[in-house]
Each structure stands twice: as structure tokens, then as C-alpha cells.
Amino acid sequence: MTMEQRCPDVFPLFVKSNRNMVKAWLFNLVVLSIMVAGCGAPKEKKVDDFLILQKDDHSFANFNEVRVNHISLDLTVDFDQKVLSGSARLSLNNRAKTNTLVLDVGNLSIKEIILDNGDSTTFSLGKESEIFGQSLSIDIEPNTEWVEIMYATSPDAKALQWLSPEQTLGKEHPFLFSQSQAILARTWVPCQDGPGVKFTYDAKITTDSSLIALMSAENGTTKNADGIYTFKMDQPISSYLLALTVGDLEYQKMGRNSGVFAEPAMLEKSVYELESMQRMIDSAETLYGPYAWEQYDVVILPPSFPFGGMENPRLTFATPTIIAGDRSLVSLIAHELAHSWSGNLVTNETWNDFWLNEGFTVYFEQRIMEKIYGSSYERMLTKLGMGDLVNTIAELEKEGRVADTHLYLELDGRDPDDGLTDVAYEKGRFFLQTVESIVGRERFDSFLRTYFTVNKFKPMNTERFINYLNDNLLSDEESVDLGADEWIYGPGLPDNCPEPFSEELDKVESSLAKYNNGLIRADELVTDGYTTHHWLYFLRGLRNLDMNRMTELDAAFSFTETGNSEIACDWFKHAVEQSYKPAYPAMASFLKSVGRRKFLTPIYSRLAATPENKLWAKEVYELARPSYHSVSYLTIDGILK
Ligand code: BES
Ligand code: ZN
């Protein structure tokens, strides 16, 4: 057998890569040396069922020597001290028979660590980094099967937000939620905090009996008289999917295997808004195969939740800003649900491969939305996505961050948050749309179904995905047409990207052309039948604004008073750029009540551009900051410093 026969996926790289010759050479060199060393298959390096992972720039853990495969948590929630305290027992697969287990921790106070033989063991903490936290090196025996770590979190653990009763809707009970992605799990659970490591878990959480605790696991749906809640997650997950929330939450079943948790005052509205949830699950299953996690619930969190949604397994965490009253922002649920396949089942191996999570998910979200709401609606969403992408690429280029417009990211030494741009999401989506346009929908769907089945519960990296794509879908000619290397290791948007088209948004486009050129007044615009997405396209396409035009637009369409968070955010961006003061009180209350970073960043950044606005922003921020999660306030601190 020649080497080429044994490793058919390696050599095409020599031929196919043009731009990325050096990378390909290096990769092949590594693969060749592995093969020379007598270790055959380069696709997925495995040693006795132990998948060898790529180096993770954002984790200290020695996961290629010893791997954590199960975590048992026993934690008590103390709202007065704002700490979780108790223990984490980590089960180990010590392949290399090493004497040291290295974990990631962030601001944890470690009380004691014991081994499976009952002995207390020694440990040391590494140098602290603001972004990465610290390493925790634990002395173990080559045959140690588990270690138990007694610890407490810090009151300012970055993952956790502790809300006072006044910061909730009901005003009576405190509230806690976690946000672990990307590398914040280490601030509440000592673990191997890289997405390539997968483990099962169980937990016992003790809290006040007036509250319910929920996790990214099998949950109960009602409060317990003793405040003790137990959880089980039997499918392996990555640490960034560890999640906990505790509060006064009630549940309503939505369908066969779906339901919603929310604060009592929010439950009815949430149930109305998320009416399509069960249909989304059913559609997703017909597209890409069975839902692997049994139950799919959503918890609507208080408005300080820093993201739109977070795909915690079995229990998506969501911002209340999607509860618009007209079901117009529910594509976010399709997105988080889609992660149950792309991300939670097949997981980006490192944060450099983030597009494998988000790009696939946006593509999948688009397919779910098309199935449920039709292609006209889907095309509006896709065209808006292209608009975001074009702006993001232009901005990154302006900031000299061209490498961040590649799909494969180089985040070494940086916060993985730097990779959280529309490039992973939208360029990723359009890359997959390009594949679809080359091979046709039928072949692509069947490829994706197999891809999710074959790779479920495993990490995936960019190189392995491209090899898999070439081996299982593309002919040589199609592979040349696609030019994957240019998409993945090259800047901006390749020429073969399909141009999104939306007949609905074209109507808005022609209104905009007239209005932007001063041919008609705001009250002459024909906006009958406009949905949220028509309005967003309209707001994003406005040019040549001034004070008079802001005033007449507001008089015609009451943008300042809108209850729709997406519309509000786009309007406030214009308000800041034009210093349109009538919108400022509403903008101040928006900034004080909503902690979703995607809205805060563009508004505060624009405010920071002039001294007068910056002063106003700082006053608002002083009041608002205590209600933001660390993910948001650390970003805004940087903008207003
Ligand atoms: N997993 C992400 C959120 C995330 C990414 C948190 C990286 C931390 C680091 C989630 O699925 C997401 O993409 N949320 C989006 C909504 C979506 C509809 C684009 C958000 O929060 O805006
Ligand atoms: Zn996502």
C-alpha cells in the first residue's frame, strides 16, 4: 500500500491549495512525519479511543495526556455572598499515566483536593492572566480515577451574574445565571475549558426553596420544598455548554418535547411569542436527522442577559428582547435550536474553528425559517445578513484586522471574543450556501445529514471538515469551483458568493432611493405591510439624514417609542450620529434596562465619538453598569475609557 492510498485525503491539499501553500506544506509535513512514525490515519488522530486534540490557544489543560470524562458537581448557591461553593469531582482517563492533571480556573478559591484513595493531594496555581485565568496543576497518581476539588467562586466570577430582586421583573426574588461561552466556565467550575474536550455531568444544586434551579441538563419543571435540585447530562458536552440559572421561574409545556421557562409575569407573553417552537424542532429533524437531546426548552432570562441566545443543551438561554409581541424575532430560537446539531453535537475543536459552530448554525437557521415561514421571509433575513457582513468586513479592514475576515481565525494570545464577528456567522453561512449552489440542495442536505450522524458528540476542526467535504461530497471540478481555501484562509468575500435576493426588500430599496434623494417626504413613503425586517432594512439604508429628516421620520413612524429592540437599536444609532435629542431619554432607558451586548456596543461606540455625547454616555453608563453582565461591561468599559 502506498502512502497515498493510505491517506487519500492528505495529498489533494498539495494540488488544491494555492493561496495557502505554506499552510498546506506545513500540514503535510506534520502528517508525513506522523506516517513515517508508523501511525497510519491522519484524519482523526486516535490513541485507544482517545481522540488527540489540536493545541488549544485558550486553555492551560493537558487534555492530550489526561482527559476529564465526567464531572459531578455539588454546589450551594449563596445570594448574600454571591458565591457558589461546594465540590467538583472529575473522573479521569489518564492515557499518558501522567502525574499531573492541569485544569483551567478563573478566580476560584480552592480549599482542598482529594484523590480517589481518600488522600488530600498537593496542587499549585499558575500565573494569573486577565483573559485566560490560571492553570491549576494537581498532583495525581498514574492510576488515579478521579479527583475531588473543594472550592468556591469569587463574587465577581466572570461567568455569573447575580441580580438583586429589584433587577428582576417580579422584584421579589434574586436571580442568578451563568454564561460560559467562550472561556468563562473556568470561573465557576474547575475544568478542561477547551471546546474539544467532552464530558458527561451530573449536579446537585442547593438553593433557597422559593427558587428553582435549572441547568443544561435533564431538568425538573417545578420548585422543590427543600431547594435541592439534581441534574443529569448523559450525553457528552463541552465546558462552554455548562449552564446554571436560579430564580423565580415557571414552566409551560409547548409541545411534544418543548417548553418555556420565564418569570411568572413574562410567561404568557413568552408562550405566545414562541408558538412555533415545536414546529421548529420537527422541521429541524426532517432536515438533518433526529434531535439528540430529548427535550428542548427555552428560558427567558432578565434583560441583562448579555447575548441574544445561548445554546445550552436541552435549555436555550434567551434574552427577553426577542419578545416583541408580534413573533417577529423568533429566528433567534431557530438559531439556538440549530446549534443542537451544529455546535452541541459536532463541536468546533478550538475557537479558531468558531465558524464551524456559527456558520453552520446560521445556514441551518435559514433552512428552518424557510420551512416554517416560507422563502420570501427567509430571503429577507438572508439579505439583511449580507448587509451586516459587508459592513463588518469593511470595519475590520478599516481597523487593520484583515486576518479576522478569514473564516479560520488566528486567535492565539487574544480573547476568543475577538472572533465573535459576523464573519464566522455570515461569511460561514454564505460559504455553505455556495457549496449548496454548486452541488444542489439534495446532495448537500444528504451530505449534512451524514456529517452530523458520523461526527456526533465529536469535535471537528477546519482542516478535517474540508477533507471530509472533499472526500464525501465534491468532485475535483466542484472543489475547484468552490475554492474553499480562498473562503477559509483568505480575506473578504470571494467572487463566487451567491448574491442574496429579496423581492420584499427590493420594494424597500426603491422607497429608500426616493427618500434618500429627497424626492419624497417621510409621510409620503408607502409602508403598508412593513414587518420588522422591512423596517430594519429601511433604517439601515437611510442616507443623508439631518435633524429635520430625523424629526419627520419620527413623526411619521414613532421610532423613538418602538417596543421592538432591533428597531430601537438601529434608530438610536442614527439618533446618536445626528445628535437627535428627542430620542435621548428613550435611549437612556434602553441602555439602563437592556444588557445585550450586540445592542450596547454600537450605541456606546457612536456616543463615544464626540465629547458631548461621550459625557452623556458616561453618565448613563454609571447608572447602567451595575446591571450589566461582565461580558457587556468589560466591552463597554473599553469603549468609554
Ligand atoms: N453561541 C452564541 C453566543 C456566543 C458566541 C456567546 C460566542 C459567547 C461567545 C449564540 O448561539 C449566538 O450566536 N447568539 C446570537 C444570536 C444569533 C441569532 C445570531 C446573539 O446572541 O446575538
Ligand atoms: Zn450561535
Ligand 1 within 6 A of CB of 635: no
Provide the annotated active-site residues.
336, 425
- Ligand 1 pocket member 311 (CB < 6 A): yes
The strand pair at 458-460 and 346-348 is best described as parallel
**Is residue 426 lining ligand 1, measured as CB closer than 6 Å?**
no
Pocket flag, ligand 1, residue 58 (CB < 6 Å): no
Own/partner pairs, 467-471, CB within 8 angstroms, 24+ separation: 467/9, 467/10, 467/43, 468/9, 469/435, 470/9, 470/12, 470/16, 471/8, 471/9
165-168, long-range: CB within 8 Å, 24+ apart, which pairs?
A: 167/302, 167/304, 167/627, 168/247, 168/248, 168/263, 168/302
Q: Which ligand is nearest to the CA of 182?
A: 1
If you take atom 6 of ligand 1, which residue's CA is the nearest one? 181
Interval between CA 308 and ligand 1 midpoint (Å): 6
Residue 252: which of 277, 236, 271, 229 has the closest Cα? 271
The alpha carbon of 599 and the centre of ligand 1 are apart by a number of angstroms equal to: 13
pLDDT, averaged in runs of 10, over the chain (641 residues):
32 35 40 37 70 97 98 98 98 98 98 98 98 98 98 98 97 98 99 98 97 97 97 98 98 98 98 98 98 98 98 98 98 98 98 98 98 98 98 98 98 97 98 98 98 98 98 98 98 98 98 97 97 98 98 98 98 98 98 98 98 98 98 98 93
Ligand 2 center from residue 424 Cα (angstroms): 10
322 lines ligand 1 (CB under 6 A): no
Neighbouring-strand partners of residue 66: 94
CA distances from 168 to 185, 248, 271 (A): 24, 9, 19
Ligand 1 centroid to 466 CA: how many Å?
A: 24
Please give the distance, rounded to the nearest whole angstrom, from the Cα atom of residue 365 to the centre of ligand 2.
10
**DSSP labels for 175-230?**
EEEE--TTTTGGGTS-B--STT-EEEEEEEEE--TTSEEEESSB--SS--TT-EEE
pTM, 2 dp: 0.93
At residue 41, the pLDDT reads 37
- 522-525, long-range: CB < 8 A, 24+ apart: 522/549, 522/552, 522/553, 522/555, 522/556, 522/557, 523/552, 523/555, 523/556, 525/556
- What b/e string do you get for 350-368 counting C-beta neighbours within 10 Å, with b at 16 or more? bbbbbbbbbbbbbbbbbbb
333 alpha carbon, closest ligand: 1
pLDDT at position 49: 76
Closest protein CA for atom 3 of ligand 1:
310
DSSP string, 424-437: IIIIHHHHHHHHHH
Taking CA atoms only, the protein residue closest to ligand 1 atom 2 is 310
Query: 314 in ligand 1 pocket by Cβ < 6 Å?
Result: no
Ligand 1 atom nearest the C-alpha of 354 is 7
> Residue 37: its pLDDT value, please?
38
Looking at 455-522, list the stretches that DSSP marks H as alpha helix, in order from N- to C-terminal side.
462-472, 476-482, 484-489, 503-516
For residue 317, which ligand has an atom nearest its CA?
Answer: 1
CA–centroid distance, residue 243 to ligand 1 (Å): 15
Alpha-carbon span 117 to 120, nearest angstrom = 9
Using a 6 Å cutoff on CB, does residue 597 contact ligand 1? no
428 lines ligand 1 (CB under 6 A): no
Question: What whole-number distance in Å separates Cα of residue 219 and Cα of residue 295?
Answer: 9
Please tell me the residue having the least CA distance from ligand 1 atom 8: 181
Which atom of ligand 1 is least distant from the CA of 181?
Answer: 8
Q: Does ligand 1 have an atom closer than 6 angstroms to the CB of 600?
A: no
Ligand 1 in reach of 194 Cβ (< 6 A)? no
Q: Which ligand is nearest to the CA of 356?
A: 2
Which atom from ligand 1 is nearest to the alpha carbon of 311?
Answer: 11
The finding on whether 307 has its CB within 6 A of some atom of ligand 1 is: yes
- Which letter does DSSP use for residue 166 in this model? G
Q: Dig out the grid coordinates for 21 from the structure.
A: 501553500
Cell numbers at 430, concatenated: 454564505
399 CA distance to ligand 1 centroid (A)? 23
Q: Which atom of ligand 1 is nearest to the CA of 425?
A: 19
Residues 6+ apart with CB under 8 A from 197: 53, 61, 63, 67, 68, 191, 238, 239
Beta bridge partners of 87: 74, 150
Q: Which ligand neighbours the alpha carbon of 411 most closely?
A: 1
The Cα–Cα gap between 538 and 402 comes to: 29
Look up residue 129 and give its DSSP letter.
B
- Between strands 160-163 and 458-460, the pairing is unpaired
In 3-state terms, the chain is what percent helix, strand and coil (to 5)? 45, 20, 35
Burial (CB count within 10 angstroms: exposed 0-12, middle 13-18, buried 19+), residue 60: buried
Ligand 1 atom closest to residue 336's alpha carbon, by position in its atom list: 11
Ligand 2 centroid to residue 235 C-alpha, Å:
20
Residue 218's Cβ-count burial label (10 Å; 0-12, 13-18, 19+) is middle
Q: What's the length of the chain? A: 641
pLDDT at 43: 62
State how far the Cα of 384 lies from the Cα of 533, in Å rounded to an integer. Answer: 8
Provide the CB-side half-sphere exposure for 67 (13 A, CA): 20
Contact 76, 84 (CB under 8 A): yes
Best residue for ligand 1 mutational test, from 238, 307, 392, 421 (most atoms within 8 Å of Cβ): 307
422 in contact with ligand 1, CB cutoff 6 A:
no
Residue 46's pLDDT is: 83
Pocket probe mutation, ligand 1, options 178, 237, 298, 310, max atoms within 8 Å of Cβ: 310
Per-residue pLDDT, 44: 76
Kindly state if the Cβ of 182 falls inside 6 Å of ligand 1: yes
Q: How far is the CA of 534 from the centre of ligand 1 (A)?
A: 23
